[in-house]
């Protein structure tokens, strides 16, 4: 009835453009997840190191805590 070109012979169909756009976006998203995972590990390492440092530097004697009266 209609003389159409088969879809697989058209190079710039919207599906191909969408696939071309999607590929770098997926790669960028994957790279961002890897970067966030490494930053999370670094954050945990720095937090642990600072905690150890603060404990070692805490040389003040323990002071009694003041109690509040319930009056």
Task: Encode pLDDT of 7-65 as tens digits.
Answer: 555 555 567 778 888 899 999 999 999 999 999 999 999 999 999 988 888 766 666 66
Question: 38 in helix, strand or coil?
Answer: helix
User: Whole-structure pTM over 0.95, yes or no?
Assistant: no
Question: With 60 as the cut, is the pLDDT of residue 1 above it?
Answer: no
Integer-rounded Cα Rg, in Å, for the chain is 30
* pLDDT of the residue at 70: 62
Predicted pLDDT at 21: 87
Q: How far is CA 69 from CA 60, 66, in A?
A: 26, 10
Would you call 3 helix, strand, or coil by DSSP? coil
């Amino acid at each position: 009835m209609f003389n159409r070109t088969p879809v697989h012979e058209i190079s710039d169909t919207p599906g191909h453009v969408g696939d071309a756009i999607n590929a770098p976006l997926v790669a960028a998203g994957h790279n961002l997840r890897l970067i966030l995972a490494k930053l999370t590990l670094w954050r945990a390492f720095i937090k642990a190191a600072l905690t150890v440092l603060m404990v070692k530097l805490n040389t003040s004697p323990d002071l009694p805590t003041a109690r509040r009266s319930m009056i």
